[in-house]
Structure 1
Amino acid sequence: MSDAIKHECGIALLRLKKPLQFYLDKYGTAFYGLNKMYLLMEKQHNRGQDGAGLANIKLNMKPGQRYISRHRSIDAKPIQDIFSKINHRFKEIEEKNPELLKDVEYLKENAGFTGELFLGHLRYGTFGRNSIESCHPFLRQSNWMTRNLVVAGNFNLTNVDELFNVLVTIGQHPKEKSDTVTVMEKIGHFLDLENERLFQDYKKMGYSNEEIYARISAQLNIENILKKASEDWDGGYAMSGLLGHGDAFVLRDPSGIRPAFWYEDEEVCVVASERPVIQTAFNIQRDAIKELMPGHALIIKKDGSVAETLINTPLERKSCSFERIYFSRGNDHDIYNERKKLGNLVCSQVLKGIDYDLDNSVFSFIPNTAETAFYGMIKGLEDHLNDRKFDKIKQLGDNPSEEELKRIIYQRARIEKIAIKDAKLRTFITQDDARDDMVAHVYDITYGSVVRDKDNLVVIDDSIVRGTTLRQSILKILDRLGPKKIIVVSSAPQIRFPDCYGIDMAKMGDFIAFQAIIELLKENGKSYVIDEVYRKCKEQEALPKEQIKNYVKEIYDHFSYEEVSQKIAELLTPPDIHAEVEIIYQTVEDLHKACPENLGDWYFTGNYPTPGGNKVVNRAFINYVEGKNERAY
C-alpha cells in the first residue's frame, strides 16, 4: 500500500496440553512452547510494529511460587527484544549448570515463561500514545488465583463511553477510559461475581477455604462470564484472556469483523489472527485449522478440554474485506486467490483505459502488497490477448504464413518492474519542512522501461486511501519515464467512510474520495447538500446509537462513481506532470465477487455492521464540517 496506514493487532494463544516433561522427551527441549510462540508472533509481525507483549501462566503452582510472567516492549524490534530478554535468563541458568535447562521442576519453580499457557500480542495502535502501558497483554491482579486476569485482543469498541459509565455505576473506578481497560474491568467484574457466587455456595455446604478454591478452579463458568461481560459491546473484536489458575478463552464479535483461527490436537491448542501462521508453526494442512465462528468463544479449561461455545447471537457476517485486500499475509490460500481475483476483475476497465492498445502499454505494480493483484490483472490481460489471437488466426484462413502466425502468437502483455521502494529513506522523514521532498524519493524507478511519449504506463496498487504518496512521490517519478498516459489502478473500491473497528482510518477529511466529492459538490453549486447532511447529523447527535442513521451516504448520491474517480485523478495529479493521469477503482460489486465470504465493506459503502458505526460516521462528518481535527471515537 502506497498510503501508510496503521491497522490491526495480532494475537497468539497457545496451551500445552501435556506436562513439560513430555515436550522435553519428544522434542528435546523444555522450551517447546516458547519457541512456538516466537514463530506465531514473528509470522504475524505484519500486524504489529508499535509494540509486542507476551504472558505466561504456570499450572498447579504452590502458594508462594510465582505463576504469572509478562514482558512487553516498544523497542524498534519488539518481538526480538522480548525473546532475547527471556532467553538471557535461561543463558544465566545454563552458565550456572547446563543440566538445569532439562530439569522441568527446577525451571517451573525458578524461571519465568516456563508454564503451559501463553498469550502473545502484537500492537498496531490506531491512536493514542505509543508507550509500554499501551501494550497488551494487560494484567488484572489478585491474591486469588482464579481472579487473576490477563487480556489481549485485536479490537476496537465504538461505545467505550457507555461501557465506562456502566463500570462507574456499579462502583468501579477504572484507571483510564480506554477500550482495553474497560473491557478488562468488565470481564473482571463478572469474574469476581462468579468467584463470589461459587465461594458462598460452597461455604454454605461446609467446605473449607482450600477445598472451595479447588472447586472454584474447576467450576468457573467462563461462558456465563463472557456472555454478561460482552452483551453490550459494540465493535469488532477477537478478545483473548487467561485466568490465573489456567482457564483461557478467545471471544469473537458477532459480525465476525476481526479474524481468529484455531487448531487442536493431543499436544496443543493454538489460536492466532491468521491461519497460515498456525500452518507454518506446526507444519499442518489448512483443512485442519478451524475458523472461530462469529459470536462464539473458544474456551480452554484448566483440565485441557476445548470447546467452541456460542456467546452472542451471530449477526450477518461482515468479516473485514481489508484483511483480504491488504492486512493479512498473502500466503493464506484463500487470500492469495482472492487478491488475484481482485486484479483480474479490473481488467475490463484497464483495457478500456488504454483503448485496448496492448502493444504500447507497460504494466507494473506498486510494491509490495499489490504484487498478487498484479498477477491476477496480467492473467486477465493474457486471457483477453488469447481470445484476440484466436480470432485473428481464424481470420488468416487455411494457409497462413509463418511470419503472420508468429506476429500474432508472440504478442504478450508488456510487464516491467517499474517502481522500487527504498524503505531506508522512511527513517529520515522527520521534519515537516523537509517531509515532502523526502517522500518524493521513497520510491525509485527502472529507467528505460517505457518508450517516451508513446507508451501507456499502468500500475496497480492494493488501495488508495489518502493519495498522499501518489501525489507527492509515485506519479512524479513515473512521469520521469515519459509515458503518454499513467493509469493507477486500485484493487479496492473508493474509500469513502471512516473505520471504527480497529483500522487507522477515522477522519473523513483524510480520504481522497471524500475530498473529491466535496469539490464536486462545491464546483457544481451543490454545497447545500453538505449543509443538509450536516443538519441531519446534528439533529441526531444526542440519539442513542441504535437510532442513528448514516445520512453521510447522501453526499455521494449526486455524482457517479466514474465522476468521483475523475475528480480524484485531478486532485492527485501534480501541477508539473506531463503525462495524462487516470485513476481506476475496483467496484464494490466486483469486490464481493472476489471475496464472497468477507463482505465487510463499510469503508466503501457506509453500511456499518453495528449501530456504533453509524454514530462514528455521524460524528466524523460533524467534526469535518466544524473544522475539528479529531477522531470520532
Structure 2
Amino acid sequence: MSDAIKHECGIALLRLKKPLSFYKEKYGTSFYAIQKMYLLLEKQHNRGQDGAGLASIKLDMEPGERYISRVRSNKTSPIQDIFSQINARINEELEDRPELANDIDAQKKEIPYLGEVYLGHVRYGTFGKNNIESVHPFLRQNNWMHRNLIVAGNFNLTNVKVLFDDLVRLGQHPKEMADTVTVMEKIGHFLDDEVEELYYNLRDTEGLSKKDASPVIGERIDVARILRRASKNWDGGFAMAGMLGHGDAFVLRDPAGIRPAFYYEDDEIVVVASERPVIQTAFNVPFEEIKELDPGKAIIIKKNGSVSFEQILDPLERKACSFERIYFSRGNDASIYQERKMLGRTMMPLILDELKGDLENTVFSYIPNTAEVSYFGMVEGAQDILNQQKQERILAEKEHLTPEKLQEILSKTIRSEKITIKDAKLRTFITDDSNRDDMVEHVYDVTYGVVKPTDTLVVIDDSIVRGTTLKKSIVKMLDRLTPKKIIVVSSAPQIRYPDCYGIDMAKMETLIAFNATLELLKDRNMYHIIDEVYAKCKAQEHLPDEEVINYVKEIYAPFTDEEISDKISEMLHPETVKADLKVMFQTVENLHISCPDNLGDWYFTGNYPTAGGNRVVNRAFMNFVEGKDARAY
C-alpha cells in the first residue's frame, strides 16, 4: 500500500489440555506454550507494531501462590522485548535454582509465565495513544481468584460514551472513557454479579465456606451468561478475548463478523488467533482443520478443558471486513491469496479499455509489497487477453499463415517488470518542509531501461487512501522512466467513508475520493449540497443510532465513479510530471465477486453494518464542515 494506514490488532489465545509434563516428554520442553505464543504473535506482527503483551494463568495453584503473570511493551520491537523479558526471568530462576531443571511441578510453582492458559496481543493505537497503559492485555485484579479478569481484543466500539454512562449509572468509577476499559469493566461487573450470586447460593443451600466455595464457583461460572449481559449494547466490530483467574477463557466475535477470529482444537491444545495461517504455521496443521468462529458466537474453554460454542449475540448480516482480504491479513492464507489474485484479474477489462487494446506497448508492474499478489492476477488476466488476441489473429490470417508469421504471433508476451523498489532505509528526517518533500520523492527507487517513451506503464496498488505518497513520490519517480502514460490501478474501490471498526481512517478530509468530490462540487457550482447534507446530519444528532441515516452518501450521488476517478487523476498529477496520468479503481461489484465471503464494504459504499456506523460518518462529516480536528467516535 502506498499510503500506509494503521489498523486493527492481533489476538492469540492458547490453552494447553495436558499437564506440562506431557509437553516436556513429547516436545522436549515444559516451555512449549511460551514458544508457541512467540510464534503466534510474531506471525501477526503485521497487525500491530505499537505494542505487544502476554498474560498467563497457572491452574490449580494454592491460595497465596502466584498464578497470573503479565508483561507488556511499547518499545520499538515490542514482541521481541516482551519475550526477552520472559526469557530473562525464566533463565534467572533456573540459574538460581538448578534443582528446578527436571522438576516440572516445581517449575510451574516457582517460574513466572509457565502455565496452561495464555493470552497475547499485538496492537496499533488507532487513537494515537501509545503509552504502556494502552497496551493489552488489560488486567482487572481481585483477591478472589475467579474475579480476576484479563481482556485483550481486536476491536473498536462506536458507542463508548453510552457504555461509559451505563457504568456510571451502576455506581462505578471507570478510570477513563476508552473502549477497552469500558469493555473490561462491563464484563467485570457481570462477573462480580455471577460470583456473588453463586457464593450466596452455595453458602445458603450447601453450607460452604468462602474457601470451600471458591473451586465450586469456578466450576459453575456461566461465562456465556456473563458475556450476554455484558455485550448486550456493544456496537462495533470485535474479536474479544479474555481469561478468568481460575482458568476459564473465551473469545467472542461481533455479530456482523467484522473482525476475524479462527480456531483449532485437538486433544493437546485449543488455540484462537486473528488469522488462519498463523495457526497453520505455529502448529503445522492443515488449512481445512482450522475453523472460523461464527459471528455473534463465543468459543468458551472451561478450566476443566471442555470447549463449547455459544450464540451470545443474534447474528446480523455477515459483513466481514474486505480490507482484511485486500491488504491487512497476511497473503499466505490460501483463500486470501486467490482473492487478491482475482482482484487484479477483474481489473483487466477496465485496463484494456483504457489501453485501447494495445498490450504490445504496455509494461505491467506493482507498488511493493502488498500489491504483489493482485499484480499476479492482473498479469494472468492480461495473458488471457493476449492469448485471445493471438487466437483471433491466427484465425484471421489462417489462409496466408507461414511458419515465420505464426512464430511472430506466438512470440508476443506480456511485458511485466518490477519497476518500483521501496527504499526502507531512507528516512525523511529533514525539518524544512520543502526539502522534506524532496526527500519523500525518493522513498521509492525505479528500475531503469525497461520502459520506452512509446509505452504505457500500468502499476497496481492494493488501495489508495490519501494519495499523498503517489503524488509526492511514486508518480514522480515513474515519470523518470519517460513513459507516454502512467496508469495507477487500485485493486480496491474508492475509499469514500471513514472506518469506525478498527482501521485508522477516521477523518473525511484525509480521503482523496472525498476531496475530489468536493472539487467536483465546486467546479459545477453544486457546493450547496455540502450545506444541505450538513443540515440533515445536524438534525439527527439527538436521534438513537437505529434511526440515523447516512446522508453523506448524497455528496457522491451526483457523480459517476469515472468522474470522481478522473478528478483524482487530475489532483494527483504533479505539475512536473510529463506523462499522462490515469488513476483507476476496482468496482464494488468486482470486489464482491473477488471476495464473496467478506462483503464488508462500508468504507467504499457507506453501507455500515451496525447502527453506530451511520452516526459516526455523519459526525465525521460535521467535524469537517465545522473545522474540528477530532475523531468521530
User: TM-score, normalised to structure 1's length?
Assistant: 0.99
Determine if contact 2:16/2:268 at 8 Å carries over to the other structure. Answer: yes
The answer as to whether partners of 1:320 and 1:598 remain within 8 angstroms in 2 is: yes
Indicate the SS of the match to 1:628: coil
1:165-211 residue CA offsets vs partner (Å, 9 max, x unmatched): 00000000000110000000000000000000001111111122222
User: Match of 1:107, as an amino acid?
Assistant: Q
Deviation at 1:128, TM superposition (A): 3.0
5+ residue gaps in structure 1?
Answer: none
Deviations 1:430-479 (A, max 9, x none): 77564322211111100111112x11000000000000000100000000
Q: Which residue of 1 aligns with 2:492?
A: 492
Q: Greater shift after overlay, 389-398 or 536-545? A: 389-398
Q: What CA deviation, in whole Å up to 9, does each residue of 1:459-512 have, x standing for no partner?
A: 000000000000100000000110000000000000000000000000000000
Q: 1:254-333 maps to which residues of 2 (within 5 A)?
A: 254-333=255-334
Matches for 1:528-567 after TM superposition, within 5 Å: 528-567=528-567
Give the deviation of 1:98 after TM superposition.
4.9
Match of 1:41? 41
Alpha-carbon deviation of 1:578? 0.1
Q: Which residue of 1 aligns with 2:231?
A: 230
Counterpart secondary structure, 1:121:
strand
Please state whether the residue corresponding to 1:95 is helix, strand or coil.
Answer: helix
The whole-number CA distance in structure 1 between the counterparts of 2:210 and 2:514 is 62
What is the identity, as a one-letter code, of the residue corresponding to 1:161? Answer: K
Counterpart CA distance in 2 for 1:588 and 1:246 is 45
**Contact in 2 for aligned 1:340/1:374 (Cα 8 Å):** yes
| d(CA) in 2 for partners of 1:606, 1:555 | 11
Greater shift, 397-406 or 387-396, is seen at: 397-406
Instruction: Give the conservation status (yes or no) of the 8 Å contact 1:57–1:246.
Output: yes
1:469 alignment partner AA:
T
Whether the 8 Å contact between 1:429 and 1:439 is mirrored in structure 2 is no
Shift of 1:97: 5.1
Match of 1:175 in 2: 175
What are the equivalent positions in structure 2 for 1:328-367 lying under 5 Å apart? 328-367=329-368
The equivalent of 2:147 in structure 1 is 147
- In structure 1, C-alpha distance between the alignment counterparts of 2:83 and 2:338, rounded to whole Å: 34
**Separation in structure 2 between the aligned mates of residue 99 and residue 202 of structure 1, nearest angstrom:** 42
Partner Cα distance (2:428, 2:67) in 1: 40
Letter in 1 for 2:374: A
Q: For residue 160 of structure 1, what is the amino acid of its counterpart?
A: V
What letter is aligned with 2:244?
A: L
Aligned to 1:617: 617
Shift of 1:57: 0.4
Q: For the residues of structure 2 that align with 1:198 and 1:594, how far apart are their CA atoms?
A: 50
Map of 1:129 onto structure 2? 129
Equivalences for residues 466-505 of structure 1 within 5 A: 466-505=466-505
> Secondary structure of 1:335's match?
helix
Question: C-alpha displacement at 1:582, in angstroms?
Answer: 0.2
Amino acid at match of 2:329: S
SS of alignment partner, residue 258 of structure 1: coil
State the Cα distance separating 1:427 from its structure 2 match.
6.8
2:421 aligned partner: 420
Moved more, 420-429 or 21-30: 420-429
Give the structure 1 partner of residue 88 of structure 2.
88
Q: Secondary structure at the match of 1:213?
A: helix
Question: What is the alpha-carbon distance in structure 1 between the residues aligned to residue 432 and residue 189 of structure 2?
Answer: 46
Determine the C-alpha separation between the residues in 2 that align with 1:610 and 1:530: 25
Partner amino acid for 1:6?
A: K
**TM superposition shift of 1:421:** 0.4
CA distance in 2, matches of 1:570, 1:383: 31
Match of 2:376 in 1: 375
Q: Is the 8 A contact 1:57 1:113 kept in 2?
A: yes
Cα distance between partner residues in 2 of 1:267 and 1:347: 47
**Equivalent position of 2:393 in the other structure:** 392
What residue number does 1:581 align with? 581
1:515 offset after TM fit, Å?
A: 0.2
Following superposition, the deviation at residue 148 of structure 1 comes to 0.0
Q: Within the alignment, does 1:590 sit opposite 2:590 as a pair?
A: yes
- What RMSD, in angstroms, separates the aligned Cα atoms of the two structures? 1.1
SS in 1 for 2:153: strand
Does structure 1 conserve the Cα–Cα contact (< 8 Å) formed by 2:498 and 2:617?
yes
**1:57 alignment partner in structure 2:** 57
State the match for 2:515 in structure 1: 515
Letter in 2 for 1:277: V
1:600 aligns with 2:600: yes
Q: C-alpha separation between the residues in 1 aligned to 2:611 and 2:64?
A: 47
**1:92 Cα deviation (Å)?**
2.1
Q: Which runs of 5+ in 2 are unaligned?
A: none
Question: 1:279–1:151: structure 2 CA closer, same or farther, 3 Å change rule?
Answer: same
Match of 2:448? 447
State the Cα deviation string for residues 505-558 of structure 1 (Å, max 9, x = none): 000000000000010001101011111101100111121111110000001111
Q: Secondary structure at the match of 1:3?
A: coil
Separation in 2, partners of 1:94, 1:207: 40
Q: Is the CA contact (8 Å cut-off) linking 2:428 and 2:439 kept in structure 1?
A: no
Deviation at 1:129, TM superposition (A): 1.6
SS at match of 1:139: strand
Aligned residue pairs, count: 632
Q: Which residue of 1 is the match for residue 222 of structure 2?
A: 221
Using a 3 Å threshold, how does the CA distance of structure 1 residues 58 and 434 change in structure 2: closer, same or farther? farther
Question: 3-state SS of the aligned residue for 1:449?
Answer: coil
1:562 to partner: Cα distance: 0.1
Per the TM alignment, residue 261 of structure 1 is displaced from its structure 2 partner at its CA by 0.2
Is the contact between residue 367 and residue 419 of structure 1 (CA under 8 Å) also seen in structure 2?
yes
The 8 Å contact of residues 24 and 102 in structure 1, kept in 2 or not, is answered as no
